[in-house]
Amino acid sequence: MMFSLKFCLLISILILSLVFPVNAGKRHAINFRSPNLYPEGLTYDPKAQHFVAGSIHHRTIVSISDAGVVETLISDPSLPENATVLGLTVDPVSRRLLAVIHSADPLPHFNALAAYDLRTRRRIFLSPLTSPDDDDGVTRQTANDVALDPKGNAYVTNSIGNFIWKVNVEGEPSIFSRSKLFTNYPVNGSLPWNHCGLNGIAYVNKGYFLVVQSNTGKMFKVDADDGTARLVLINRDLPLADGIAVRSDGVVVIVSMNRAWFLKSSDGWGEAVIYDEITLDRGGFPTSVTMGGGDRAYVLYGHVEEGILGKSQREEFRIEEIKSGNDNGEENIWVFVLVGLAFAYLMYWRFQMGQLIKNMDKKTQ
Protein backbone atom coordinates (compact mmCIF):
# COMPACT_ATOMS: atom_id res chain seq x y z
CA MET A 1 0.00 0.00 0.00
CA MET A 2 2.85 2.41 0.85
CA PHE A 3 4.54 1.51 -2.44
CA SER A 4 1.34 2.48 -4.30
CA LEU A 5 1.21 5.87 -2.56
CA LYS A 6 4.83 6.61 -3.46
CA PHE A 7 4.16 5.52 -7.02
CA CYS A 8 1.18 7.90 -7.28
CA LEU A 9 3.22 10.79 -5.92
CA LEU A 10 6.00 10.07 -8.37
CA ILE A 11 3.60 10.04 -11.30
CA SER A 12 2.04 13.33 -10.13
CA ILE A 13 5.42 15.05 -9.89
CA LEU A 14 6.42 13.81 -13.34
CA ILE A 15 3.18 15.08 -14.85
CA LEU A 16 3.57 18.48 -13.21
CA SER A 17 7.19 18.81 -14.29
CA LEU A 18 6.15 18.23 -17.88
CA VAL A 19 3.13 20.53 -17.85
CA PHE A 20 4.45 23.21 -15.51
CA PRO A 21 8.27 23.38 -15.61
CA VAL A 22 9.37 25.18 -12.45
CA ASN A 23 11.92 27.99 -12.62
CA ALA A 24 14.29 27.78 -9.69
CA GLY A 25 14.24 31.57 -9.41
CA LYS A 26 17.87 32.23 -10.35
CA ARG A 27 18.22 35.33 -12.50
CA HIS A 28 19.83 34.98 -15.88
CA ALA A 29 22.97 37.10 -16.27
CA ILE A 30 24.94 37.55 -19.50
CA ASN A 31 28.49 38.80 -19.19
CA PHE A 32 29.98 39.85 -22.52
CA ARG A 33 33.16 41.42 -23.77
CA SER A 34 33.63 44.11 -26.41
CA PRO A 35 36.46 46.67 -26.12
CA ASN A 36 35.16 50.17 -25.32
CA LEU A 37 31.65 49.39 -26.54
CA TYR A 38 29.87 51.25 -23.71
CA PRO A 39 26.34 50.36 -24.89
CA GLU A 40 23.47 52.67 -23.95
CA GLY A 41 20.56 51.13 -25.89
CA LEU A 42 19.31 47.54 -25.73
CA THR A 43 16.62 45.60 -27.54
CA TYR A 44 15.80 41.96 -28.29
CA ASP A 45 15.33 40.21 -31.62
CA PRO A 46 12.80 37.41 -30.99
CA LYS A 47 13.41 35.71 -34.33
CA ALA A 48 17.20 35.58 -34.05
CA GLN A 49 16.87 35.07 -30.28
CA HIS A 50 19.64 37.45 -29.34
CA PHE A 51 20.01 40.88 -27.77
CA VAL A 52 21.05 43.92 -29.79
CA ALA A 53 23.10 46.78 -28.33
CA GLY A 54 24.59 50.01 -29.64
CA SER A 55 27.69 51.94 -28.64
CA ILE A 56 28.55 55.46 -27.56
CA HIS A 57 32.06 55.12 -29.02
CA HIS A 58 31.70 53.06 -32.21
CA ARG A 59 29.56 53.34 -35.33
CA THR A 60 28.54 49.73 -34.82
CA ILE A 61 25.64 47.72 -33.46
CA VAL A 62 26.29 44.28 -31.99
CA SER A 63 24.30 41.13 -31.29
CA ILE A 64 24.75 39.31 -27.99
CA SER A 65 23.74 35.70 -27.49
CA ASP A 66 22.47 34.16 -24.26
CA ALA A 67 25.96 32.75 -23.82
CA GLY A 68 27.55 36.19 -24.15
CA VAL A 69 28.91 35.70 -27.67
CA VAL A 70 29.25 39.12 -29.35
CA GLU A 71 29.08 39.63 -33.11
CA THR A 72 29.06 42.82 -35.17
CA LEU A 73 25.56 43.10 -36.58
CA ILE A 74 25.85 46.52 -38.25
CA SER A 75 28.95 48.55 -39.09
CA ASP A 76 28.17 51.93 -40.66
CA PRO A 77 31.30 54.06 -41.18
CA SER A 78 29.26 56.54 -43.24
CA LEU A 79 27.72 57.89 -40.02
CA PRO A 80 29.29 61.08 -38.61
CA GLU A 81 32.56 60.61 -36.76
CA ASN A 82 32.10 59.54 -33.14
CA ALA A 83 28.34 59.22 -33.63
CA THR A 84 26.58 57.66 -30.65
CA VAL A 85 24.02 54.89 -31.11
CA LEU A 86 21.30 55.33 -28.48
CA GLY A 87 17.78 53.87 -28.61
CA LEU A 88 17.15 50.66 -30.55
CA THR A 89 14.14 48.61 -31.53
CA VAL A 90 13.46 45.67 -33.83
CA ASP A 91 10.57 45.61 -36.30
CA PRO A 92 9.77 41.87 -36.25
CA VAL A 93 7.36 42.08 -39.20
CA SER A 94 9.56 43.75 -41.79
CA ARG A 95 12.82 42.55 -40.19
CA ARG A 96 14.20 46.05 -39.70
CA LEU A 97 16.40 47.43 -36.98
CA LEU A 98 15.76 51.07 -36.00
CA ALA A 99 18.61 52.97 -34.34
CA VAL A 100 18.73 56.49 -32.92
CA ILE A 101 21.93 58.33 -33.91
CA HIS A 102 23.26 61.34 -32.00
CA SER A 103 26.56 63.22 -32.05
CA ALA A 104 27.78 64.62 -28.77
CA ASP A 105 29.78 67.76 -28.04
CA PRO A 106 32.00 69.18 -29.40
CA LEU A 107 30.97 67.69 -32.76
CA PRO A 108 28.44 69.44 -35.04
CA HIS A 109 24.81 68.91 -34.14
CA PHE A 110 23.43 65.72 -35.62
CA ASN A 111 20.31 63.68 -34.81
CA ALA A 112 18.88 60.98 -37.03
CA LEU A 113 17.02 57.72 -37.18
CA ALA A 114 18.69 54.92 -39.11
CA ALA A 115 16.87 51.86 -40.42
CA TYR A 116 18.71 48.67 -41.35
CA ASP A 117 17.53 45.49 -43.08
CA LEU A 118 18.30 42.63 -40.71
CA ARG A 119 18.44 40.14 -43.60
CA THR A 120 20.97 41.99 -45.74
CA ARG A 121 22.34 44.25 -42.95
CA ARG A 122 22.20 47.17 -45.36
CA ARG A 123 20.93 50.60 -44.42
CA ILE A 124 17.43 51.37 -45.69
CA PHE A 125 17.40 55.06 -44.77
CA LEU A 126 19.02 57.68 -42.57
CA SER A 127 16.48 60.33 -41.60
CA PRO A 128 17.89 63.57 -40.11
CA LEU A 129 15.79 64.78 -37.18
CA THR A 130 15.58 68.54 -36.93
CA SER A 131 13.59 71.11 -34.98
CA PRO A 132 12.62 74.78 -35.41
CA ASP A 133 14.82 75.36 -32.36
CA ASP A 134 17.87 74.30 -34.35
CA ASP A 135 17.82 77.65 -36.14
CA ASP A 136 18.88 79.61 -33.07
CA GLY A 137 22.09 77.60 -32.82
CA VAL A 138 21.85 77.60 -29.03
CA THR A 139 19.76 74.62 -28.01
CA ARG A 140 21.33 71.28 -28.82
CA GLN A 141 18.57 68.73 -29.51
CA THR A 142 19.11 65.16 -28.36
CA ALA A 143 17.37 62.25 -30.06
CA ASN A 144 17.23 59.48 -27.48
CA ASP A 145 14.86 56.50 -27.60
CA VAL A 146 12.62 54.93 -30.25
CA ALA A 147 9.44 52.85 -30.39
CA LEU A 148 7.31 51.45 -33.22
CA ASP A 149 3.58 51.38 -33.84
CA PRO A 150 1.92 48.36 -35.53
CA LYS A 151 2.19 50.02 -38.96
CA GLY A 152 5.97 50.32 -38.72
CA ASN A 153 6.11 54.07 -38.02
CA ALA A 154 8.88 55.04 -35.60
CA TYR A 155 8.61 57.55 -32.76
CA VAL A 156 11.75 59.17 -31.32
CA THR A 157 12.00 61.16 -28.09
CA ASN A 158 13.91 64.45 -27.90
CA SER A 159 15.39 64.75 -24.42
CA ILE A 160 16.39 68.41 -24.65
CA GLY A 161 13.51 69.79 -26.73
CA ASN A 162 10.93 67.66 -24.86
CA PHE A 163 8.96 66.58 -27.91
CA ILE A 164 8.54 63.45 -30.05
CA TRP A 165 9.42 62.97 -33.70
CA LYS A 166 7.64 60.56 -36.04
CA VAL A 167 9.42 58.81 -38.92
CA ASN A 168 7.18 56.90 -41.32
CA VAL A 169 8.15 53.66 -43.07
CA GLU A 170 9.60 55.64 -46.00
CA GLY A 171 11.91 57.49 -43.64
CA GLU A 172 10.06 60.82 -43.77
CA PRO A 173 10.35 62.67 -40.43
CA SER A 174 7.95 65.09 -38.78
CA ILE A 175 7.25 66.44 -35.31
CA PHE A 176 4.58 64.20 -33.81
CA SER A 177 3.88 65.56 -30.33
CA ARG A 178 4.88 68.82 -28.71
CA SER A 179 2.44 68.79 -25.83
CA LYS A 180 2.65 71.62 -23.32
CA LEU A 181 2.48 68.96 -20.61
CA PHE A 182 6.04 67.95 -21.42
CA THR A 183 7.32 71.26 -20.02
CA ASN A 184 4.66 71.79 -17.37
CA TYR A 185 6.36 70.20 -14.36
CA PRO A 186 9.28 71.44 -12.25
CA VAL A 187 12.73 70.01 -12.88
CA ASN A 188 14.72 68.77 -9.94
CA GLY A 189 17.95 70.68 -10.49
CA SER A 190 19.76 68.71 -7.78
CA LEU A 191 19.56 65.49 -9.78
CA PRO A 192 22.46 64.42 -11.99
CA TRP A 193 21.70 64.65 -15.70
CA ASN A 194 18.90 67.13 -14.90
CA HIS A 195 19.01 68.44 -18.49
CA CYS A 196 17.54 65.15 -19.73
CA GLY A 197 13.77 65.34 -20.27
CA LEU A 198 11.70 62.92 -22.35
CA ASN A 199 13.54 59.64 -22.51
CA GLY A 200 12.22 56.07 -22.73
CA ILE A 201 9.20 55.38 -24.94
CA ALA A 202 7.15 52.22 -25.45
CA TYR A 203 4.06 51.40 -27.49
CA VAL A 204 1.11 49.87 -25.65
CA ASN A 205 -1.10 47.68 -27.77
CA LYS A 206 -4.17 49.90 -27.31
CA GLY A 207 -3.27 52.83 -29.51
CA TYR A 208 -0.97 54.89 -27.33
CA PHE A 209 2.58 55.28 -26.06
CA LEU A 210 3.99 55.55 -22.57
CA VAL A 211 6.87 58.02 -22.24
CA VAL A 212 8.99 58.71 -19.16
CA GLN A 213 10.70 62.00 -18.33
CA SER A 214 14.01 61.72 -16.48
CA ASN A 215 14.34 65.13 -14.84
CA THR A 216 10.79 65.32 -13.49
CA GLY A 217 10.11 61.64 -12.79
CA LYS A 218 6.79 61.85 -14.66
CA MET A 219 5.21 59.44 -17.13
CA PHE A 220 2.89 60.47 -19.97
CA LYS A 221 0.32 58.62 -22.02
CA VAL A 222 0.51 59.82 -25.63
CA ASP A 223 -2.20 59.06 -28.19
CA ALA A 224 -0.74 57.27 -31.23
CA ASP A 225 -3.12 59.01 -33.65
CA ASP A 226 -2.91 62.69 -32.76
CA GLY A 227 -0.05 62.97 -30.26
CA THR A 228 -2.18 64.39 -27.46
CA ALA A 229 -0.70 63.69 -24.04
CA ARG A 230 -1.93 63.29 -20.49
CA LEU A 231 -0.08 62.75 -17.26
CA VAL A 232 -0.25 59.23 -15.83
CA LEU A 233 -1.15 59.56 -12.15
CA ILE A 234 1.28 57.40 -10.15
CA ASN A 235 1.56 56.97 -6.39
CA ARG A 236 5.02 58.57 -6.54
CA ASP A 237 7.49 60.02 -9.05
CA LEU A 238 10.13 58.04 -10.94
CA PRO A 239 13.30 60.14 -10.60
CA LEU A 240 15.89 59.64 -13.37
CA ALA A 241 13.53 57.27 -15.24
CA ASP A 242 15.33 56.13 -18.38
CA GLY A 243 14.40 52.89 -20.17
CA ILE A 244 10.88 51.46 -20.37
CA ALA A 245 9.45 48.15 -21.57
CA VAL A 246 6.00 46.57 -21.59
CA ARG A 247 5.40 42.94 -20.67
CA SER A 248 2.77 40.87 -22.51
CA ASP A 249 0.55 40.87 -19.40
CA GLY A 250 0.50 44.69 -19.42
CA VAL A 251 3.04 45.22 -16.64
CA VAL A 252 5.42 48.10 -17.34
CA VAL A 253 9.05 47.95 -16.24
CA ILE A 254 11.05 51.18 -15.92
CA VAL A 255 14.72 51.53 -15.03
CA SER A 256 16.83 54.42 -13.78
CA MET A 257 20.51 54.54 -12.86
CA ASN A 258 19.55 53.44 -9.35
CA ARG A 259 16.51 51.20 -9.47
CA ALA A 260 13.81 49.43 -11.45
CA TRP A 261 10.09 49.88 -10.94
CA PHE A 262 7.25 47.48 -11.80
CA LEU A 263 3.94 49.22 -12.52
CA LYS A 264 0.36 48.13 -13.15
CA SER A 265 -2.73 49.99 -14.26
CA SER A 266 -6.39 48.95 -14.13
CA ASP A 267 -7.80 51.84 -16.18
CA GLY A 268 -5.71 51.95 -19.35
CA TRP A 269 -2.88 53.99 -17.80
CA GLY A 270 -4.89 56.95 -16.64
CA GLU A 271 -3.59 55.98 -13.22
CA ALA A 272 -0.90 53.49 -12.23
CA VAL A 273 0.63 52.00 -9.12
CA ILE A 274 4.21 50.97 -8.41
CA TYR A 275 3.81 47.49 -6.98
CA ASP A 276 7.49 46.63 -6.69
CA GLU A 277 10.88 48.34 -6.71
CA ILE A 278 14.31 46.76 -7.15
CA THR A 279 17.68 48.30 -6.37
CA LEU A 280 20.07 48.11 -9.32
CA ASP A 281 23.85 48.16 -9.52
CA ARG A 282 24.58 51.90 -9.65
CA GLY A 283 28.19 51.24 -10.60
CA GLY A 284 27.13 49.61 -13.85
CA PHE A 285 25.05 52.67 -14.79
CA PRO A 286 21.91 50.87 -16.02
CA THR A 287 20.18 52.70 -18.88
CA SER A 288 17.91 50.34 -20.80
CA VAL A 289 15.41 47.56 -20.22
CA THR A 290 13.91 45.16 -22.75
CA MET A 291 11.78 42.03 -22.81
CA GLY A 292 13.82 39.00 -23.78
CA GLY A 293 12.85 35.40 -24.40
CA GLY A 294 10.02 34.11 -22.27
CA ASP A 295 8.77 37.66 -21.68
CA ARG A 296 11.51 38.20 -19.11
CA ALA A 297 12.81 41.69 -18.33
CA TYR A 298 16.51 42.38 -18.83
CA VAL A 299 18.48 45.46 -17.84
CA LEU A 300 21.69 46.66 -19.51
CA TYR A 301 24.74 47.59 -17.46
CA GLY A 302 26.74 49.50 -20.05
CA HIS A 303 28.89 51.71 -17.77
CA VAL A 304 27.92 54.64 -20.01
CA GLU A 305 28.83 57.35 -17.51
CA GLU A 306 32.35 55.95 -17.33
CA GLY A 307 32.51 55.91 -21.13
CA ILE A 308 31.31 59.51 -21.45
CA LEU A 309 33.88 60.75 -18.97
CA GLY A 310 36.59 58.73 -20.71
CA LYS A 311 38.12 57.68 -17.41
CA SER A 312 39.15 54.19 -18.47
CA GLN A 313 39.22 51.50 -21.11
CA ARG A 314 36.64 48.77 -20.51
CA GLU A 315 35.64 45.63 -22.36
CA GLU A 316 33.37 43.84 -19.87
CA PHE A 317 29.64 44.62 -19.75
CA ARG A 318 26.52 42.85 -18.51
CA ILE A 319 22.87 42.13 -19.32
CA GLU A 320 20.90 40.86 -16.35
CA GLU A 321 17.39 39.60 -15.81
CA ILE A 322 15.31 41.43 -13.22
CA LYS A 323 12.30 39.97 -11.47
CA SER A 324 9.62 41.27 -9.19
CA GLY A 325 9.16 39.41 -5.95
CA ASN A 326 5.52 40.50 -5.98
CA ASP A 327 4.61 38.78 -9.23
CA ASN A 328 2.44 35.71 -8.81
CA GLY A 329 4.83 33.24 -10.43
CA GLU A 330 5.90 31.66 -7.15
CA GLU A 331 2.30 31.55 -5.97
CA ASN A 332 1.38 29.67 -9.15
CA ILE A 333 4.09 27.12 -8.47
CA TRP A 334 2.54 26.35 -5.08
CA VAL A 335 -0.87 26.05 -6.71
CA PHE A 336 0.59 23.46 -9.08
CA VAL A 337 2.16 21.61 -6.15
CA LEU A 338 -1.17 21.51 -4.32
CA VAL A 339 -2.89 20.29 -7.46
CA GLY A 340 -0.27 17.54 -7.71
CA LEU A 341 -0.81 16.49 -4.12
CA ALA A 342 -4.56 16.45 -4.64
CA PHE A 343 -4.07 14.29 -7.74
CA ALA A 344 -1.84 11.92 -5.77
CA TYR A 345 -4.42 11.68 -2.99
CA LEU A 346 -7.13 10.96 -5.55
CA MET A 347 -5.06 8.18 -7.09
CA TYR A 348 -4.34 6.76 -3.62
CA TRP A 349 -8.02 6.93 -2.68
CA ARG A 350 -8.99 5.14 -5.88
CA PHE A 351 -6.40 2.45 -5.13
CA GLN A 352 -7.73 2.02 -1.59
CA MET A 353 -11.32 1.80 -2.82
CA GLY A 354 -10.26 -0.76 -5.37
CA GLN A 355 -8.62 -2.86 -2.69
CA LEU A 356 -11.67 -2.52 -0.46
CA ILE A 357 -14.02 -3.69 -3.22
CA LYS A 358 -11.77 -6.66 -3.96
CA ASN A 359 -11.74 -7.65 -0.28
CA MET A 360 -15.52 -7.38 -0.08
CA ASP A 361 -15.89 -9.53 -3.19
CA LYS A 362 -13.68 -12.19 -1.60
CA LYS A 363 -15.81 -12.22 1.58
CA THR A 364 -19.06 -12.63 -0.36
CA GLN A 365 -17.77 -15.55 -2.39
Averaged over 149-175, what is the pLDDT? 97
> Cβ neighbours of residue 267 under 8 Å, at least 6 residues apart?
none
Q: Which amino acid would we find at residue 244?
A: I
The Cα–Cα gap between 163 and 213 comes to 11
pLDDT tens, residue by residue, 280-320: 999 999 999 999 999 999 999 999 999 988 867 899 999 99
Task: Count Cβ atoms within 10 A of the Cβ of residue 347 and give its class: 0-12 exposed, 13-18 middle, 19 or more buried.
Answer: middle
Cβ atoms of residues 138 and 125 within 8 Å: no
Is the pLDDT score of 182 beyond 70?
yes
Is the pLDDT score of 16 beyond 50?
no
pLDDT at position 312 is: 73
Residue 23 phi, psi (nearest 5): -85, 130
- What confidence tier does 104 reach under pLDDT thresholds 50, 70, 90? confident
pLDDT at position 188 is: 81
Least confident of 46-55, 76-85, 161-170, 253-262: 76-85
The Cα–Cα gap between 290 and 245 comes to 5
- What confidence tier does 348 reach under pLDDT thresholds 50, 70, 90? low
pLDDT tens, residue by residue, 191-202: 888 899 999 999
pLDDT at position 325 is: 87
Single pTM value for the model:
0.83
Cβ atoms of residues 149 and 224 within 8 Å: yes
